[in-house]
């Protein structure tokens, strides 16, 4: 097990009818900007409930944060924060709204060119660049990214998706009310299950470092997702199922299962380019890339793939390679069972576009990836070709 620090200050407020907690959670004299997306939070009546719970506090709204939140939209919100003296941000939405709000929080305290903040990659933005951030709270409407309990954000700018990390952007609190997710379209519920699944495999399907407990945490999340995944898609009003979906998503990317173990993230980096170039939903890019990644990288990941086959898919017979083949096949079948296609060609992308994707990986400094930092561009090319 590697050395690690584990720190996560986000208060989680979980369960039914928890919006009333906003009264205690948001300072009484706060000057609040509620951020939201394209309208689902308004249509469902959630925004009205949030504003009612905020009582007589001063509240402004900023809507229109897109899926894959765009830089140009977010800097407009940062201008509102500065002009109106906003001192609290409340994100009501999924990963895009929460990520966008984290960027707004930082950009509104940065005197330079806000696009500078996109240049740090996975390195947390130094405090001498942005030394303070507007406090954030979230009301989660789509369980999948884990953004409600981490410091990460992914911002779309020009033709790329850029990670933005800062120790200052842990939400102060996140309200995780499973009933708020009931209005999710099936495909978004499926996306959330798959994004959570792949966050877990990015921190688990690597190589053994005797992280016995982390492995069991990860296997517990994967087994739970397999057990409830299709029900969460088909039974949106099933509280017990959605409650587990929500909690799996949060714990898959809040630092817990990744503490002290190797982490891959190559599936995500290749997936980000597919979203940026072809507009494919984030989780669907992962459903395309992961099975192919595991096939191409089976020797690097052999020990953990065999453990995955045994503990997650209960594959007990066959040679090592037969067990690995079957585990990868079951992974692909699981994604397909949720209604998500796993072949790049099924999203209208032709093989002749693959060199352009590889070129974008190079432009975005993603030429060496994975837990062993040896996944070069030609291997990325092979993974994409194998995913056609």
Residues at the contact surface with Zn ion, assessed by CB under 5 A: 195
Closest CB to ligand NZQ: residue number: 37
Q: Are 303 and 207 in contact (CB under 8 A)?
A: yes
Stretch of 140-148, 170-178, 237-245, 341-349 contacting ligand NZQ, by CB under 6 A: 140-148
Q: Are 103 and 164 in contact (CB under 8 A)?
A: yes
Task: Return the number of other C-beta atoms located less than 10 Å from residue 224's C-beta.
Answer: 17
Minimum CB–partner distance for residue 282 and Zn ion (Å): 6
Minimum CB–partner distance for residue 109 and ligand NZQ (Å): 19
Please, what sign has the CA dihedral across residues 173, 153, 247, 9? negative
Asked whether position 232 contacts ligand NZQ by CB under 6 A, the answer is no
Asked whether position 67 contacts ligand NZQ by CB under 6 A, the answer is yes
Asked whether position 150 contacts ligand NZQ by CB under 6 A, the answer is yes
Stretch of 91-99, 204-212, 294-302, 304-312 contacting ligand NZQ, by CB under 6 A: 91-99
Minimum CB–partner distance for residue 165 and ligand NZQ (Å): 9
| Residues 191 to 210 in contact with ligand NZQ, rule: CB under 6 A | 191, 195
Asked whether position 254 contacts ligand NZQ by CB under 6 A, the answer is no
End-to-end CA distance of the chain: 36
| Residue 94 touches which member of ligand NZQ, Zn ion, none, C-beta under 5-8 Å by kind | ligand NZQ
Asked whether position 144 contacts ligand NZQ by CB under 6 A, the answer is yes
Give whichever of 97 and 344 is closer to ligand NZQ, judged by the CB atom.
97
CA distances from 70 to 33, 41, 161 (A): 18, 19, 9
- Residue-level length of the chain: 388
**How big is the site for ligand NZQ, counted in residues (CB under 6 A)?**
34
- Helix extents (H) in the chain: 22-25, 40-43, 46-53, 71-84, 95-107, 186-202, 212-234, 239-252, 266-278, 282-296, 302-311, 320-337, 354-363, 377-386
Q: Which of 10, 138, 141, 169 binds ligand NZQ (CB under 6 A)?
A: 141
| Residue 141 touches which member of Zn ion, ligand NZQ, none, C-beta under 5-8 Å by kind | ligand NZQ
| Residues 317 to 356 in contact with ligand NZQ, rule: CB under 6 A | none
Residue bearing tokens 């093989």: 351
Q: Distance between CA 319 and CA 194 in Å, rounded?
A: 28
Minimum CB–partner distance for residue 96 and ligand NZQ (Å): 3
Stretch of 77-85, 139-147, 209-217, 356-364 contacting ligand NZQ, by CB under 6 A: 139-147
Residue bearing tokens 């996560």: 8
Report phi then psi at 157, rounded to 5. -150, 130
Q: What is the DSSP letter of 15?
A: S
Nearest to 145 by CA among 289, 252, 38: 252
What is the binding site for ligand NZQ (CB under 6 A)?
37-41, 67-68, 93-97, 99, 141-142, 144-147, 150, 152-154, 161, 180-181, 183-184, 188, 191, 195, 253, 268, 282
């Amino acid at each position: 097990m590697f050395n690690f620090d584990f720190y996560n200050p986000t208060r989680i407020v979980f369960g039914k009818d928890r919006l009333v907690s906003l009264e205690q959670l948001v300072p009484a004299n706060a000057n609040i900007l509620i951020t939201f997306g394209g309208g689902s939070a308004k249509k469902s009546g959630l925004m009205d409930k949030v504003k009612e719970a905020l009582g007589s506090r001063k509240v402004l709204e900023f809507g229109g944060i897109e899926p894959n939140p765009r830089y140009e939209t977010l800097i407009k919100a940062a201008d509102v924060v500065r002009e109106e003296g906003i001192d609290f941000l409340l994100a009501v939405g999924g990963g895009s709204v929460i990520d966008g709000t984290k960027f707004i929080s930082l950009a509104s305290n940065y005197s330079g060119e806000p696009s500078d903040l996109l240049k740090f990659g996975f390195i947390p933005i130094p405090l001498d660049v942005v030394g303070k951030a507007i406090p954030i709270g979230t009301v989660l409407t789509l369980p999948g990214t884990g953004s409600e309990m981490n410091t990460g954000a992914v911002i779309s700018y020009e033709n790329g998706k850029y990670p933005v990390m800062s120790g200052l952007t842990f939400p102060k609190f996140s309200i995780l009310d499973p009933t708020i997710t009931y209005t999710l379209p099936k495909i978004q519920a499926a996306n959330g299950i798959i994004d959570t699944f792949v966050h877990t495999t990015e921190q688990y399907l690597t190589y053994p470092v005797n992280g016995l407990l982390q492995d069991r945490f990860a296997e517990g999340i994967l087994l739970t997702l397999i057990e409830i995944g299709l029900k969460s898609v088909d039974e949106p009003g099933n509280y017990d199922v959605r409650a587990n979906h929500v909690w799996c998503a949060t714990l898959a990317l809040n630092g817990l299962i990744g503490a002290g173990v190797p982490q891959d993230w190559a599936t995500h980096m290749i997936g980000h380019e597919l979203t940026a170039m072809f507009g494919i939903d984030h989780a669907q890019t992962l459903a395309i890339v992961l099975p192919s990644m595991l096939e191409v990288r089976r020797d690097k990941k052999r020990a953990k793939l065999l453990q995955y086959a045994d503990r997650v898919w209960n594959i007990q017979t066959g040679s090592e390679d037969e067990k690995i083949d079957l585990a990868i096949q079951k992974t692909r079948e699981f994604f397909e069972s949720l209604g998500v296609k796993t072949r790049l060609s099924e999203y209208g992308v032709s093989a002749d576009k693959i060199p352009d994707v590889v070129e974008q990986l190079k432009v975005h400094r993603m030429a060496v990836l994975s837990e062993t930092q040896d996944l070069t561009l030609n291997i990325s090319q092979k993974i994409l070709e194998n995913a056609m």
